[in-house]
Structure 1
Amino acid sequence: MESTQNKPAPAAQPQPQPKKKVPMYLIAILVTLGVIVIALGIKLFALLEDVEVAEEAKAYVEQQKDEMEGELNELIVSYDSLKTNNDSINERLAVEQDKIRRLLRVQATNAKKLQMYEKELGTLRRIMRSYIVQIDSLNTRNRELTEENIAVRQELREKEENIQKLSETQEELSSVVAEAQKLAAKNIVAVGLNSRSKPKDKISKIEKLRVCFIVRENNVAEAGSKMIYVRIIRPDEVVLSSPDAGMFDYQEESLVYSAKRELEYDNQDIDMCIFWDKTEELIEGTYFIALYSEGYEIGTSSITLK
């Protein structure tokens, strides 16, 4: 019993404090703030994505713009290479080049302007292709015309050469015919005559000179009236002139004749004589005698007087 009574009494246990409740309005505020934070996070993420997309779009627009500007510059060079000798086409090419330069000055900073850029570029390409077709067609036609022109010039040159050859042949034939048609004299004999028409060779006795000859037969020559001229040239090369100091044409010059006589030619041998009456002094020596008709020399002879 003593042992039981001597045991100490157990210590008193502390009483648990009752929990304080969080006010509902505070919970509502926290929930609201959480929702706002989440919404702002989502919005921020979306904005960041939009910024990234915008940057990518801007970079794409710039890249496309640079590429189009490069193509436009190439188009300007291409238009330059299309210039031809055709002034009308060159003027139209210059107009299109001006359009390209104006387009290059446009600041394509958004998709709408870029679309306009692409549309204009496509139009310019189509126009250039149409010019290429036109110019190719013109070049083809020019080549054809050049070839035709060369062929025509060659043909013309050949015809001119043929005409020249024919002309030369005709001239040769005309020369041959003229040579064949000209008269010729043979048996030309000159003598001095005294006042009684007796032959003399002393100049003191001579009153006239007689030149006799035969006009040869020529079936090619034209028949009809012919004028025969005689030139008697002294040893000192002075021509004994006629009383009328007449002249005739010979090889594009005019010559003095000593005497002349008309002949009615019938294509047969004809004997005839021409007389020169003494009108000036004679000198000793050999006299040269030449006969002419229709612009040709038809025979020569000589006589020596003492």
Structure 2
Amino acid sequence: MENQRSSSSLKAVIAVLAVLLVGSLIYIFKMTSDADVVKTELKTTLTEKESVMKDLQELKSTYDAAISENTSMSDELIQERDKVVNLMSDLSKSKGDVASLSKYRTQFNALQGNMKVLMAENEGLKKQNTTLTTQRDSTVVVLGETKKNVEALTGQNEELSKAVEIGSKLTVLNTRGSAFKMKSSGKQIETDKASRADVLRVSFTIPENPIAKSGEKMYYVQVIDSKNNVLGDKKTESFGENILTYSFTTVVQYDNKTVQVTQDLKGKDFAKGTYYINIFDRDILVSKTSFVLR
């Protein structure tokens, strides 16, 4: 009888030990799996952080190269390059969690969009300078070879200058951005305080051009706040390889006479700082300006 009790006790101990062993194995497996997940997530965030940093370094290199050319846009390029450098500094200090990396990627995309706009304008200025230099050199040669016809050439050059000045393309002038407070009576009062503004107004002028093509003309208007956010519709339009994100479009009925264009962009909780307005004819930047809300 005593042996039988001992045998039963031994079996009970073995059963308890077996249960503990199975529980330990399950716990070890779960801890191992959780550790693998953490390692995978950590590796992914580190890879994304390196990717964003690499993209920012390439963006900075692009600006450095453009700034070294010492064009009339150098100050604007330096300002944008400094934004990239500051973002790189913030990124290097960040812990690299998923939420912050998403924020840095969004800010990079905005900076990259600004870079494309500025690079396009910078390239346009370089081409214009090259064209003007070529025209100047050609004019010097012609004048040197035709000294006897100076008076005739002077008249021809004046006519040519007038024809080039008039041109066949429409130009956009006097671009202006401002903010207004809408009263309950419907009256609008201009303001420079972000807390009071509930309407941003964009206005520009298309001057008279007797040889331009008349008809409907559509412009894409891009309003960017001090946090590099495109305001308004935030729609995108593709022009070949170029993609433009814009705030709104405005259609102008042009009949070769001067046209004043004004359009409002409603909103709320506008941020303090500098606002940038870019006017595009398709994907070509034709005018820009900025204004500040306190």
Q: Judge same fold: TM > 0.5, yes or no.
A: no
Q: TM-score, normalised by structure 1?
A: 0.40
